[in-house]
A and B are shown apart, each in its own frame.
Chain A
């Protein structure tokens, strides 16, 4: 067993309401796992249970194989980066970083050298004697990360660490944290509601909804093979259709969807009612009005959005629903609003998830 963090059917109930419902999860050494979900899905509660600030009502939490479910926060080996950074406002940068080492009774000379190393690593040189309020948001964020890293915890816990930074800084800080995490082989858990952020830096993503993990997989697997309708809708953009399986044979599964679409999916063990997921970038468009055969549908372009390198089109279908299509930047020139188009896609682009 080499999991640094292990959650075994961990639950947190407030009265009858479950904030976290039987969550099981393992984080391997050097792995970064993102807990992703909308607000109120239980991701922060899960993280706070690992840190020890929230006591689970069921299940067990293990750090490096040891059960810490009932261990108070200050005796757990975790390093947390808070959303508000929670720097100690009365202590300097150096004193903030030294705080955890002092509590652990590390020798004074060693504290000095480890703090100095961390200040270099976090690019805070020259700011050692500043107070937190004298730092920029990005610098404060780096102090918060440095303060958590310097104690070499079993796991780094990051609670929306980039949400207080502006968009540009957020991206560069994210890349820097990922590089640091990989260089130092840090084990980390990362809470975010931003799916792009999770996709960009996580080794695996646990998509949470209503207190449960809906799917835990690599970013590519979560994107290409969403197991539930919720995951498909939350990760990236998706066209999701309710469909009914009408035929199965060795070549594939046929399902009837809305607007007269017949989907043919690769063979799979699908129940009678499914949700068919079709990513916008997998759709090809051609001018015309006749849609023949499976995996095609006719419609009229009604919304065009141009993003430079890419563009998105909305295609209105016969039943009034809209198909989202994404393609290269020349799409708007080829298909003006009002033009009749036929959309088609490959069977391999379709994913069936639980309805």
Chain B
């Protein structure tokens, strides 16, 4: 009998904890999704009646639709750029021991420990003094300051675990260092890179503080649109928008699971 077995007292405790944590994480999402279908003009739980009116309103509202597209575009650009910078930096930090590499590593990670609001204010002041970018570009640069460290955090341990002799084998067989990186290193660490990119995407997509401070008024990300709507009134349209996001995420997760099942069964 193992310690995780339900017949073991500690096992029962463990399973209970798991159940509680699951409920704690999933219940708010369930409340939002459920109340998005309610007929009352305010967010109510349990919902009364059933209607798709709020979804209709959400999809008809250009603020939400454009906000979604803006957020998507920003997150996509931030993901690609921060992955490129992050992978290259992680590779340099792991492969080459140079004076100060440890210091640089901790500096790279530091934006992650700063409160978002502090960064947002600091960057607002910085950009007003140094107009190196305008409009949405400012927000993209701001997001890079937190997404690059995030990519580094994920990719550095992945590269440290990577058996370097695999790269050497590729070179021994005639691949230049650059070719060895793209033909062997990159494909082998690909799962880690996907994880890093996904994290960067999510970080940018649901980032609020810097978006509120730095977003261009003409191109508001979804988080800003939602934030200003919440300040007026918390009507079920917001619940509908949130539910759409939850469902998209859920769909992506399901597709990912199915695809990886099919792949590993091959």
Contacts and interface: CB of A to CB of B under 8 A. Distances in A.
Nearest to B180: A74
Given A89-B188, A90-B187, A103-B179, A84 B173 contact: no
Contact of A86 (B163, B179, B187): B163
B188 A103 contact: no
A341 B170 CA distance: 61
Contacts of B173: 74, 79, 99-100, 103, 147-148, 151
A339 B169 CA distance: 59
Given A73-B171, A74-B171, A89 B176 contact: no
B231 interface: no
Interface of A: 51-53, 72-76, 78-80, 82-84, 86-90, 99-100, 103-104, 147-148, 151
Given A84-B165, A88-B188, A89-B166, A104 B172 contact: no
Given A82-B165, A84-B163, A99 B170 contact: yes
A96 to B, nearest CB: 9
B105 interface: no
29 contacts: A51-B172, A52-B171, A53-B168, A53-B171, A72-B176, A74-B175, A74-B179, A78-B172, A79-B173, A80-B168, A80-B169, A80-B172, A82-B165, A84-B165, A86-B166, A86-B169, A87-B166, A87-B169, A88-B188, A89-B166, A89-B188, A90-B188, A90-B190, A99-B173, A100-B174, A103-B173, A103-B175, A148-B173, A151-B173
Given A79-B172, A99-B170, A147-B169, 12 more contacts: A73-B168, A74-B175, A79-B173, A82-B169, A84-B163, A86-B163, A86-B168, A87-B166, A89-B166, A90-B187, A99-B175, A103-B174
B246 interface: no
Question: Counting chain B CB atoms within 10 Å of each CB, which of A52, A79, A84, A86 scores highest?
Answer: A86
A73 B165 contact: no
Contacts of A151: 173-174
- Chain B contact residues (Cβ within 8 angstroms of A): what range? 10 to 19
Interface string B199-223: 0000000000000000000000000
Interface in B160-197: 163, 165-166, 168-177, 179-180, 184, 187-188, 190
A78 B171 CA distance: 10
Contacts of B177: 72, 74
Given A88-B188, A89-B188, A82 B168 contact: yes
Contacts, number: 68
B216 to A, nearest CB: 42
A121 to B, nearest CB: 18
Interface string B85-106: 0000000000000000000000
Contacts of A73: 168, 171-172
Contacts of A74: 171-177, 179-180
Contacts of A99: 170, 173, 175
B170 A88 contact: yes
A82 B164 CA distance: 11
Contacts of B176: 72, 74
A313 B175 CA distance: 56
Contacts of A88: 166, 169-170, 184, 188
Identify which of B166, B169, B180, B190 gathers the most chain A CB atoms within 10 Å of its CB. Answer: B169
Contacts of A80: 168-169, 172
B166 A104 contact: no
A15 B190 CA distance: 37
